[in-house]
Amino acid sequence: MAALDPSVVVAVVGAGAMGQGIAQVAAEAGHPVLLYDTRPGAAEAAVAAIAQALTSLVGKDKRTAAARDAAVGRLRAAGGLPDLAGAGLVVEAIVEDLDVKRRLFAELEGIVGDGTILATNTSSLSVTAIGAGIGRPERLAGLHFFNPAPLMALVEVVGGLASDAGVLDTLVDTAKAWGKSPVRCRSTPGFIVNRVARPFYAEGLRLLQEQAADPATIDAVMREAGGFRMGPFELMDLIGHDVNFAVTRSVHAAYFGDPRFQPSLIQQELVEAGRLGRKSGRGFYDHAAGAAKPAPRTAEPGPRPHRVTVRGDLGPAAALAGLLREAGVAVEEQPGTGLLVADGVTLALTDGRTATARAAEDGIAPLVLFDLALDYAKAARVALAPADGTPAEAVAAAAGLFQALGKAVSVIDDAPAMVVMRTVAMLASEAADAVMQGVAGAADVDTAMTKGVNYPLGPLAWAERIGLPRVVGVLDALARTYGEDRYRASALLRRKISATQIAQIPSPPRGEGQEPTL
């Protein structure tokens, strides 16, 4: 099948922010659009709001007046569901309530034609369960936009158990024609984004619970070292803690209490206190007018290193040797296990163990660990974690090494796998599980996370860059430290490592190592 012809009428049920956004996207793509809402006057108000939004874009030279007028001319408020009889596609964007959605589609099924595609914009409910309430569930699928729909590129096209393959193909092609980046996924709790993204919030909350660092510092490290557009606490404040906590609880319950999705007591307390983030004026941060955002914890200037010894392969941090040379620091390279030695202090990229455990197990003191960065050349900040008992002058020397490269340094408490490495490893494992369980393909998972939540790199591509053995090693170290199934590494990651090892086994000479045949 191909994309819906622009002459096909698109109906949107629900005139809230999401419904408005979907209606605007369809109208700008050339479709006649009917917008319906049960609230009196809501559909008319939504059409006016879309016209105002497009006028604002004209003022910013992002739309022409002619394009605005044409799109607005395609929009019409419907007086009732019977007005949607001629629609070729109906998208619902109403309350997240299974029974309410089922009743809506059951009513629509008696109104629209046999060839009409029915789509739900649900972000958390089962498409299969919604479809089970109608006579022809094969024509219903998920078409999950992200807010704000006109700006966000991602659309999850979600197949329920009964969804017809042709319907899914049409929705994918239509989303592309509307200028979106669609991904295919199966109807499982959280689909792709709301499932794979859970560790982004969960690990930040756990680090805060364990007093590894304050929210402002964790956010700064995730932005300035990890390359994320926002840190977890900033993003939760933006989303709203009531919404984010509800999604986490929903996914946790849907997976029968899997500890990977365990909700946070800290976030629950914020919700109970009414501190929902920006919309209530306070969450992790004070959003009142004029309120100053707290600064991240930043180390005082330390001594510039006289000489740095690089011992072995630094893996994802290999660029540090060249960066130090460019900064005018003398660098000597020696065989070893991936360490930096500067003025008597040893530094190492976190491998998932605490600095204290690693110092004791490997017999290294003083030892200071540093966190993963997306790109050490571009990173504006690096996190350090010293082993317990490390002298202050050793920590200052470690900070001075990164400060010589122009980086701000945040010293955090000795948390296993630190901040960026811990989060990325967990994201990669969850993404790999989604692929292994047939929720979506690897490319679609990475696309979903970059287009849907603006990650700087897809978690699977990032894992490949770090090295799968290193990622699994980090997860295994976390699992040993906490003794929890929460940190189990995806079986698919282990399988990929084994497959790579098999590929490196030399083939036996022809005729050797073969069983005789008769």
Write the DSSP string, 181-204. Answer: EEEEEES-TTTTHHHHTHHHHHHH
Position 509 scores a pLDDT of 73
Among candidate residues 92, 109, 123, 250, the one labeled active-site is 123
**Structure confidence at residue 313 (pLDDT):** 96
**Pairing label, strands 307-311, 117-120:** unpaired
Does the structure show a pLDDT above 90 at 393? yes
* 484-500 pLDDT tens trace: 999 999 999 999 999 99
At 252, list the tokens.
């946790």
Share of the chain above pLDDT 90, in %: 96
As a whole number of angstroms, the distance between CA 448 and CA 435 comes to 13
pLDDT of 248 > 70? The answer is yes
Contacts 24+ apart (CB under 8 A), 116-120: 116/87, 116/88, 116/89, 116/90, 117/4, 117/88, 117/89, 117/90, 117/141, 117/167, 117/170, 117/171, 118/90, 118/92, 119/89, 119/90, 119/91, 119/92, 119/143, 119/171, 120/91, 120/92
Run of H or E including 34: strand 33-36
Is residue 244 annotated as part of the catalytic site, yes or no?
A: no
Question: Residue 516: pLDDT above 90?
Answer: no
- 156 included as an active-site residue: yes
Q: Could you give the CA distance from residue 255 to residue 276 in angstroms, rounded to a whole number?
A: 25
- Report the distance separating Cα 246 and Cα 264, nearest Å: 11
| 493 Cβ contact partners less than 8 Å away, ≥ 6 residues apart | 428, 429, 432, 463, 468, 471, 472, 475
- Residue 385 burial (CB < 10 Å; 0-12/13-18/19+)? buried
Instruction: Compute the average pLDDT of residues 133-156.
Output: 96
The per-residue pLDDT for 62 is: 96
222: part of which helix (H) or strand (E)?
A: helix 215-224
**Is 297 a residue whose pLDDT tops 70?**
yes
Better-scored residue on pLDDT, 513 or 486 = 486
Q: What is the pLDDT of residue 518?
A: 35
pLDDT band at 508; cut points 50, 70, 90:
confident
What whole-number distance in Å separates Cα of residue 261 and Cα of residue 374? 25
Q: Are 131 and 102 in contact (CB under 8 A)?
A: no
Among candidate residues 31, 144, 241, 252, the one labeled active-site is 144
* pLDDT at position 512: 55
Secondary structure (3-state) at 144: strand
Does 339 score more than 80 pLDDT? Answer: yes
Give the CA distances from residue 453 to residues 194, 235, 436, 448, in Å, rounded to whole numbers and listed in that order: 10, 10, 22, 8
What global pTM score does this model have?
0.94
pLDDT, tens digit (0-9, with 9 covering 90-100), for 349-372: 999 999 999 999 999 999 999 999
Closest listed residue to residue 400, CA positions, set 329, 476, 463: 329
- The torsion angles phi and psi of 433, rounded to 5 degrees, stand at -65, -40
pLDDT above 80 (res 1)? no
Q: How far apart are CA 34 and CA 11, in angstroms?
A: 5
pLDDT at 59 over 90: yes
Question: Quick check: is 147 catalytic?
Answer: no
Q: For the chain, what is the mean pLDDT?
A: 96
Taking residues 193-204, report their average pLDDT: 97
Is 513 a residue whose pLDDT tops 60? no
Q: CA 464, CA 161: separation in Å to the nearest integer?
A: 32
Q: Which of 121, 194, 410, 490 is catalytic?
A: 194
pLDDT for 514: 52
Residue of 28, 92, 156, 234 marked active site: 156
- 124: pLDDT confidence band, cut at 50, 70 and 90? confident
The mean pLDDT value for 224-232 works out to 98
Rounded CA-CA distance 472/171 in Å is 37
Going by C-alpha positions, the residue among 365, 355, 362 that lies closest to residue 413 is: 355
- Mean predicted confidence (pLDDT) in 472-494: 97
User: DSSP labels for 261-293?
Assistant: GPPPHHHHHHHHTT--BTTTTBSSSB-STTPPP
Closest C-alpha to 470, from 500, 443, 439: 500
Say yes or no to pLDDT of 164 above 50. Answer: yes
For residues 237-264, average pLDDT: 95
CA neighbor of 417 nearest in space, from 479, 468, 361 = 479
Active site residue 194: yes
**Mean pLDDT of the 435-459 span:** 97
Instruction: Look at residue 93 and tell me whether its pLDDT is greater than 50.
Output: yes
Over pLDDT 70: what percentage of the chain?
98
Which pLDDT score is estimated for 133? 87
Angle at 371 between CA 365 and CA 377, to 5 degrees: 115
Domains of the chain in start order, with CATH, are: 10-187 (3.40.50.720), 307-411 (3.30.750.190)
| Residues present in the chain in total | 518
Identify the pLDDT of residue 517.
Answer: 41
